[in-house]
């Protein structure tokens, strides 16, 4: 078959492309090293993979073939359009591209964690000389010394460690043994001649697997300190970039294996290699990995079918997986290294919020507290001295810039800060001080709050029609119809081929729905706990969302409760913090299990008040104005 040749243009230059057969533009771009936004999983509904065709012959989803003429570019969805003949030219707009310049929050801010009881330990032992009088085995001698001198009750061993013993103990009576806490017992992981112990450190990995991004910390298991951290995108976004579309993709055995391979071989193992290269260590020196993630992500890591999570009654296959060996999961570290997963509370309240709860120390205070972790799925926990309640709500990906006309993730060129002047004009700041390409979540929150504050946007979420013709930034979409939009940046200011960057009334509606779901969920938990927001001592904000938003603005639009800003505590990446704690303190696993078993899960769709609270929250800041007294005074 004749090869199909062409060029793919993007902001860093041009890529010469060669295809062996006709294929979807989405796949053609991917095999040449570029990943497009694809939140709908290839259904053609999100618009995130839009590209411009400059030359070539293509077919659409209905099979219709068309040829792009010179100087007549065609805009299409890459997931629905197939390249059939060259030479082709495709231009990828920046906002359609998932780039490594996007922000991935890897740091966390928690109270100093004082516990240190590592889950992997090394000991120098001197074994007694073998004799006819003492017929005990080498393993029994090791177990006795560990019990008597180090209070380690050794129960089992990996097969490879047992196989090592004859070679090591026949020539060395002074040895170094490595033991690991695995499935609630100590097991022998490795036996070496004693000389190895003094000169070679050993490591563990703490990993946060998010739906979109992955953060991995290399930890010195002797000191418990983080040595280095690396981040990248969860390469499952090549197939689908939200939880719901990933569950759909995993509905077949082939789909599950595709997603498992993407997280293991194209995400985790390359990150491991990066960390090892940066720190000049061998992957075999990494003796444990702890993973914190939502329930669907760890199901896919383990190759478990997650489809039951996506259908009523939303029941996961299991909530508390066992420890597994690295070799079983094809993780590129010491083959017998235990791989642990922070357990989940329910199908949609995952190990990531269990980690958030433990990292925040909210269970260790007597005052009532609230925790909010807002990603694509809004997870919320509330507790007082009597009980804890947890829930999850479908906030959707709007705060990540998806399903918004000119929304995007937080990457170079994203508008991250917006201020509206008293004259109704817009001032903005972009990430990297680049020309604007779109608007990320923090910028969208700023716009809604500023627009409401300056009376450009009514409490209903509609633009003030009286300003049409008076403020040049407010205009009718496409010059006709009844729907208004606001021009954040016109095409003269934006990146080439971006055009005007606007926020439409439909965008506002999508954002208000997202904030409404979250605030309504908070209200339901407060009611269930029989508390008012004024009873809450601290509100913990977890995840990257918390790191970059303006809390005042989030309160103004009705996303967060109206309390003093100094009662908010930003903990950052609590999921990664929980994985780190689970790595360096064996007792944390008892805490995780207690957290998993203690809350009452509140199903919002079964709560009789949720729909009313959601309806009230569909206003800015809320139909119940008394809930936002500080906003009423502005």
For the segment 470-518, what is each residue's pLDDT rounded down to a tens digit?
Answer: 999 999 887 666 789 999 999 889 876 677 899 999 999 999 999 999 9
State the average pLDDT over residues 61-82: 92
Which stretch of DSSP H or E encloses residue 595? Answer: helix 588-597
Strand partners, 185: none
State the average pLDDT over residues 624-632: 92
- The DSSP call for residue 264 is I
Which stretch of DSSP H or E encloses residue 554? Answer: helix 551-556
From the list 26, 173, 19, the residue with the least C-alpha distance to 96 is 26
Give the C-alpha distances (Å, rounded to integers) separating 616 from 371, 460, 515, 610, 612. Answer: 22, 11, 11, 10, 6
pLDDT digits (tens, 9 = 90+) for 135-157: 788 888 889 999 999 999 988 89
* Predicted local distance difference test score (pLDDT) of residue 201: 87
- Ranked by mean pLDDT, the top range of 63-77, 199-213, 417-431 is 417-431
- Which is more confidently placed, 95 or 556? 556
* Predicted local distance difference test score (pLDDT) of residue 63: 92
* Predicted local distance difference test score (pLDDT) of residue 113: 54
From the list 361, 96, 378, 108, the residue with the least C-alpha distance to 229 is 108
Q: Does position 241 have pLDDT exceeding 90, yes or no?
A: no
**Per-residue H/E/C for 139-208:** HHHHHHHHHHHHCCCEEEECHHHHHHHHHHHHHCCEEEEEEEECCCCEEEEEEEECHHHHHCCCEEEEEE
* Predicted local distance difference test score (pLDDT) of residue 99: 57
Whether residue 211 contacts residue 234, with contact meaning beta carbons closer than 8 Å, is answered with yes
- Binned at pLDDT 50, 70 and 90, residue 44 comes out as confident
pLDDT digits (tens, 9 = 90+) for 344-384: 999 989 999 999 999 999 988 889 999 998 877 788 999 99
Q: At what angle do helices 253-263 and 295-302 cross, to 10 degrees?
A: 100
Domains of the chain: residue spans and CATH: 4-98 (3.10.20.30), 120-199 (3.10.20.880), 203-341 (3.30.420.480), 351-397+511-632 (3.30.420), 400-508 (no CATH)
Task: Give the Cα separation of 34 and 234 in Å (integer).
Answer: 14
* Predicted local distance difference test score (pLDDT) of residue 39: 61
* Predicted local distance difference test score (pLDDT) of residue 30: 82
Copy the structure tokens of residue 164: 């090592």
Task: Give the Cα separation of 406 and 418 in Å (integer).
Answer: 14
pLDDT, mean over the chain: 89
Give the C-alpha distances (Å, rounded to integers) separating 437 from 150, 429, 497. Answer: 59, 12, 9
Give the C-alpha distances (Å, rounded to integers) separating 587 from 34, 118, 590. Answer: 43, 9, 5
* Predicted local distance difference test score (pLDDT) of residue 109: 60
pLDDT digits (tens, 9 = 90+) for 290-320: 999 999 999 999 999 999 998 888 888 998 8
* Predicted local distance difference test score (pLDDT) of residue 573: 86
State the average pLDDT over residues 388-417: 84
Task: Give the Cα separation of 627 and 106 in Å (integer).
Answer: 34
Length of the chain: 634
State the average pLDDT over residues 541-556: 87
* Predicted local distance difference test score (pLDDT) of residue 134: 78
Helix, strand, coil distribution of the chain in percent, nearest 5:
35, 30, 40
Strand-pair category, 568-572 with 538-542: parallel
Task: Give the Cα separation of 67 and 82 in Å (integer).
Answer: 12
Q: Does position 526 have pLDDT exceeding 60, yes or no?
A: yes
Identify the residue whose tokens are 């991004």.
213
Q: Enumerate the H helices of 264-325 as residue ranges.
A: 269-279, 295-302
Strand-pair category, 484-489 with 174-181: unpaired
From the list 197, 192, 120, 183, the residue with the least C-alpha distance to 161 is 192
Q: Does position 322 have pLDDT exceeding 90, yes or no?
A: no
Work out the number of other CB atoms within 10 angstroms of the CB of residue 93: 21
Please give the backbone phi and psi of residue 286, each rounded to the nearest 5 degrees, phi first.
-95, 115
* Predicted local distance difference test score (pLDDT) of residue 237: 78
* Predicted local distance difference test score (pLDDT) of residue 496: 66
pLDDT digits (tens, 9 = 90+) for 159-206: 999 998 888 887 778 888 899 999 889 999 988 887 654 557 899 999
* Predicted local distance difference test score (pLDDT) of residue 154: 86
For the entire predicted model, the pTM comes to 0.82
pLDDT digits (tens, 9 = 90+) for 20-40: 999 999 999 988 878 787 666
* Predicted local distance difference test score (pLDDT) of residue 253: 94
Whether residue 505 contacts residue 483, with contact meaning beta carbons closer than 8 Å, is answered with yes
Copy the structure tokens of residue 433: 């001080």
- Binned at pLDDT 50, 70 and 90, residue 41 comes out as low
pLDDT digits (tens, 9 = 90+) for 242-265: 788 899 999 999 999 999 999 999
Give the C-alpha distances (Å, rounded to integers) separating 478 from 366, 425, 489. Answer: 56, 21, 16
Task: Give the Cα separation of 495 and 436 in Å (integer).
Answer: 6
Q: Does position 391 have pLDDT exceeding 80, yes or no?
A: yes
Copy the structure tokens of residue 402: 């998806």
- Min mean pLDDT across 220-229, 450-459, 537-546 is at 537-546
- Binned at pLDDT 50, 70 and 90, residue 445 comes out as very high
Q: Does position 60 have pLDDT exceeding 70, yes or no?
A: yes
């Amino acid at each position: 078959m004749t090869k199909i040749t062409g060029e793919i243009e993007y902001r860093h230059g041009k890529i010469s492309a060669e295809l062996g057969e006709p294929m979807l533009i989405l796949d053609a771009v991917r095999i040449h090293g570029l990943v497009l936004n694809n939140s709908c999983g290839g259904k053609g509904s999100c618009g995130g993979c839009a590209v411009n065709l400059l030359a070539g012959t293509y077919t659409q989803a209905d099979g219709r073939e068309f040829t792009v003429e010179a100087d007549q570019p065609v805009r299409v969805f890459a997931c629905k359009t197939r390249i059939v003949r060259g030479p082709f030219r495709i231009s990828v707009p920046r906002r359609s591209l998932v780039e490594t310049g996007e922000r991935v929050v890897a740091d966390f801010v928690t109270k100093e964690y004082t516990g240190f009881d590592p889950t992997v330990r090394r000991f120098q032992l001197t074994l007694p000389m073998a004799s006819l009088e003492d017929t005990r085995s080498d393993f029994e001698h090791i177990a006795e010394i560990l019990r008597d001198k180090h209070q380690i009750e050794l129960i089992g061993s990996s097969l490879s460690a047992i196989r090592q013993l004859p070679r090591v103990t026949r020539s060395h009576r002074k040895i170094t043994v490595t033991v690991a806490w695995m499935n609630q017992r100590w097991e022998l992981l490795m036996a070496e001649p004693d000389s190895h112990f003094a000169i070679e450190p050993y490591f563990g990995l703490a990993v946060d697997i998010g739906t979109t991004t992955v953060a991995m910390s290399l930890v010195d298991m002797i000191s418990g300190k983080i040595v280095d951290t690396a981040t990248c995108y969860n390469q499952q976004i090549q197939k689908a970039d939200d939880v719901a579309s990933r569950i759909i993709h995993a509905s077949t055995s082939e789909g599950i294996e595709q997603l498992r391979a993407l997280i293991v071989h194209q995400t985790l193992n390359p990150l491991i290699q990066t960390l090892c290269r940066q720190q000049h260590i061998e992957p075999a020196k990494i003796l444990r990995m702890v993973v914190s993630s939502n329930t669907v992500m760890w199901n896919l890591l383990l190759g478990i079918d997650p489809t039951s999570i996506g259908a009523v009654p939303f029941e996961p296959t299991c909530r508390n997986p066992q420890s597994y060996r690295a070799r079983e999961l094809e993780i590129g570290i010491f083959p017998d290294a235990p791989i642990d997963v922070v357990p989940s509370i329910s199908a949609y309240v995952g190990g990531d919020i269990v980690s958030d709860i433990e990292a925040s120390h909210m269970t260790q205070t007597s005052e009532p507290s609230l925790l909010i972790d807002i990603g694509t799925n809004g997870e919320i926990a509330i507790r007082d001295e009597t009980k804890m309640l947890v829930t999850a709500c479908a906030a959707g990906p709007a705060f990540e810039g998806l399903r918004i006309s000119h929304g995007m993730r937080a990457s170079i060129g994203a508008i991250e800060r917006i201020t509206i002047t008293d004259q109704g004009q817009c001032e903005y700041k972009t990430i990297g001080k680049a020309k604007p390409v779109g608007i990320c979540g923090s910028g969208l929150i700023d716009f809604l709050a500023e627009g409401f504050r300056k009376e450009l946007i009514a409490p209903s979420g509609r633009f003030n029609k009286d300003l049409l013709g008076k403020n040049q930034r407010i205009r009718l979409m496409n010059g006709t119809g009844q729907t208004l939009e606001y021009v954040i940046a016109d095409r003269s200011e934006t990146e080439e081929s971006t055009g005007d960057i606007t926020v439409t009334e439909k965008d506002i509606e999508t954002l208000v729905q997202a904030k409404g779901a979250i605030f309504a969920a908070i209200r339901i938990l407060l009611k269930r706990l029989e508390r008012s927001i004024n009873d809450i001592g601290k509100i913990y904000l977890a995840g990257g969302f918390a790191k970059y938003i303006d809390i005042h603005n989030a309160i103004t639009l009705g996303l967060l409760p109206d309390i003093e800003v100094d009662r908010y505590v930003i903990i950052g990446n609590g999921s990664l913090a929980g994985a780190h704690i689970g790595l360096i303190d064996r007792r944390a696993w008892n805490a995780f299990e207690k957290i998993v078993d203690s809350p009452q899960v509140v199903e919002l769709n079964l709560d009789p008040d949720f729909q009313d609270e959601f309806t009230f929250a569909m206003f800015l800041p809320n139909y119940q104005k008394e809930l936002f007294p500080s906003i009423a005074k502005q």
